C-alpha cells in the first residue's frame, strides 16, 4: 500500500512515509487506546501538517498528571503499539496476549482503569 490516507491523529508514521501494511492498524488502535486512557491523542498540533510532523518526530510521553492512575501494563501495551518502527511494533496477535488483557486479579487500580476506558468510549460515541 502506498496511498497516504487516514485521519491525522490516527495515521501511522509509515503511512505518512508512503509504504505500509497491516501493522499500521495496530498503531491506530494504540492511538485509540491512548485516548481512552487519558482523554487526548499523543501527537497533537494546530493543523494537519503539525500533527503529521509530530507523528513522525515526537517521542511518545505519558504526562504524569494524566497517567498516574493508569497501570504499568496499560502503558507498556500503548508503548508497544505506538512504536514508530513497524518492524519492532507489537503485532495484533501479540496485543491480544499482552498482560494488560491477561490480568486475572482485579485490583482497585485496574478496576478504575477499566471504568475510565468504558466512560471514555461512551463519551466518544456521544454527539
CATH code at position 18: 1.10.510.10
3-state secondary structure of 60: coil
Model confidence pLDDT, tens digit, residues 13-54: 999 999 999 999 999 999 999 998 998 999 999 999 999 999
Output the CA torsion sign for 7, 12, 16, 19. Answer: negative
Q: Is residue 3 part of a domain?
A: no
Q: Is residue 2 part of a domain?
A: no
Q: Is residue 50 part of a domain?
A: yes
pTM value is 0.81
Q: Is residue 76 part of a domain?
A: yes
pLDDT at 106: 53
Within 13 Å and on the Cβ side, how many CA atoms surround 118? 6
DSSP 58: P
Q: Is residue 45 part of a domain?
A: yes
Instruction: Tell me how many degrees the CA angle 84-47-1 measures, rounded to the nearest 5.
Output: 45
Which domain covers residue 33, as residue numbers? 8-125
Model confidence pLDDT, tens digit, residues 55-92: 999 999 999 999 998 889 999 999 999 999 999 999 99
Structural domains counted in the chain: 1
Q: Is residue 1 part of a domain?
A: no
The whole-angstrom separation of Cα 121 and Cα 51 is: 23
Q: Is residue 33 part of a domain?
A: yes
Of residues 6, 33, 30, the one with CA closest to residue 18: 6
Amino acid at each position: 500500500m502506498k496511498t497516504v490516507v487516514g485521519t491525522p491523529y490516527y495515521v501511522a508514521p509509515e503511512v505518512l512515509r508512503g509504504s505500509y501494511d497491516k501493522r499500521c492498524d495496530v498503531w491506530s488502535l494504540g492511538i485509540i487506546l491512548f485516548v481512552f486512557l487519558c482523554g487526548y491523542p499523543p501527537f497533537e498540533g494546530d493543523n494537519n501538517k503539525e500533527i503529521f510532523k509530530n507523528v513522525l518526530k515526537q517521542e511518545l510521553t505519558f504526562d504524569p498528571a494524566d497517567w498516574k492512575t493508569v497501570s504499568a501494563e496499560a502503558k507498556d501495551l500503548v508503548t508497544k503499539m505506538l512504536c514508530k518502527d513497524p518492524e519492532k511494533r507489537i503485532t495484533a496477535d501479540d496485543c491480544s496476549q499482552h498482560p494488560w488483557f491477561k490480568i486475572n486479579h482485579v485490583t482497585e487500580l485496574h478496576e478504575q482503569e477499566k471504568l475510565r476506558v468504558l466512560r471514555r468510549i461512551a463519551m466518544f460515541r456521544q454527539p
